[in-house]
């Protein structure tokens, strides 16, 4: 897996995929990294980046980095510069939902300040001169940036459209893999989910029993099983994790 930079981050509360299933996570991410690199090369680019859109107190490059084949030294230097949140690519993608192609150093600050922070030459020497970038939301409503970089004069509108939709397909595969790795270890039954859903609505075991026409003891058993499968210590934690896994 040399040459690939990736991370497998959980969302808190349940442990990350890298902690729960390290072998599967590493294998899946390596495969996704190879797929993105292959796609980049098909359209004349040498590099790709998949990152979360910086926001709030999570604005630095490393905490938003998901996948890339950037040289390790470049990635570290860029993280140290701490300009990702105010970079041209982030600023531009806040203004449009269309793919953006630019032959400037989009990962530096605004075009007028590129040379000031010394990154233009660094990226150019590494071969990341021209970049096609776009922002998308995944099925969990998380905002992402996908960028392909290299030395490429331009792309036709047809090429931009094709690359955009093919990259979306790879991102969807990544999200599905992530969901498998970050999901509950055992599948919840329909009744267990029903009981959690009514519990989330504020219903007691007795009230849920009346609604589902079963005994309160049976409701408690379903909720206990759901808590075990979701590795939770109480109902509230089980509900939170079920929402995180999009079961409710």
Of the candidates 96, 95, 74, the residue with the CA atom closest to the CA atom of residue 160: 96
Cβ atoms of residues 98 and 161 within 8 Å: no
Q: Please report the pLDDT score of residue 13 as a whole number.
A: 37
**How buried is 141 (Cβ within 10 angstroms: 0-12 exposed, 13-18 middle, 19+ buried)?**
exposed
Q: Please report the pLDDT score of residue 9 as a whole number.
A: 45
Name the CA radius of gyration of the chain, rounded: 22
pLDDT digits (tens, 9 = 90+) for 97-155: 999 999 888 998 865 454 446 788 889 999 999 999 999 998 878 899 999 999 987 88
Backbone angles phi, psi at 120, to 5 degrees: -55, -50
Q: Please report the pLDDT score of residue 46 as a whole number.
A: 96
Q: Please report the pLDDT score of residue 76 as a whole number.
A: 92
Q: Please report the pLDDT score of residue 88 as a whole number.
A: 92
Q: Please report the pLDDT score of residue 150 as a whole number.
A: 96
Residues of the chain with pLDDT under 70: 1-26, 110-117, 179-183
């Amino acid at each position: 897996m040399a040459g690939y930079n990736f991370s497998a981050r959980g969302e808190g509360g349940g442990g990350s995929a890298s902690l729960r299933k390290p072998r599967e996570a590493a294998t899946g991410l390596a495969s996704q990294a190879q797929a993105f690199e292959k796609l980049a090369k098909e359209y004349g680019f040498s590099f790709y980046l998949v990152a979360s859109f910086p926001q709030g107190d999570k604005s630095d490059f490393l905490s938003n980095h998901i996948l890339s084949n950037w040289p390790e030294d470049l990635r570290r230097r860029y993280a140290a510069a701490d300009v990702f949140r105010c970079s041209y690519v982030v600023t531009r993608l806040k203004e449009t939902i269309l793919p953006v192609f630019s032959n400037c150093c989009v990962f530096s600050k605004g075009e007028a300040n590129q040379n000031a922070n010394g990154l233009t030459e660094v990226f150019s020497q590494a071969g990341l001169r021209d970049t096609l970038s776009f922002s998308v939301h995944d099925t969990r409503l998380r905002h992402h940036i996908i960028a392909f970089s290299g030395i490429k004069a331009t792309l036709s509108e047809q090429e931009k459209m094709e690359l955009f939709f093919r990259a979306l397909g790879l991102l969807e595969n990544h999200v599905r893999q992530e969901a498998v790795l970050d999901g509950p270890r055992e599948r919840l039954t329909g009744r267990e989910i029903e009981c959690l859903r009514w519990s989330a609505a504020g219903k007691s075991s007795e009230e849920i029993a009346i609604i589902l026409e079963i005994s309160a003891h049976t409701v408690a058993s379903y909720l206990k099983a759901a808590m075990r499968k979701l590795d939770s210590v109480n109902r509230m934690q089980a509900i939170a994790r079920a929402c995180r896994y999009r079961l409710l």
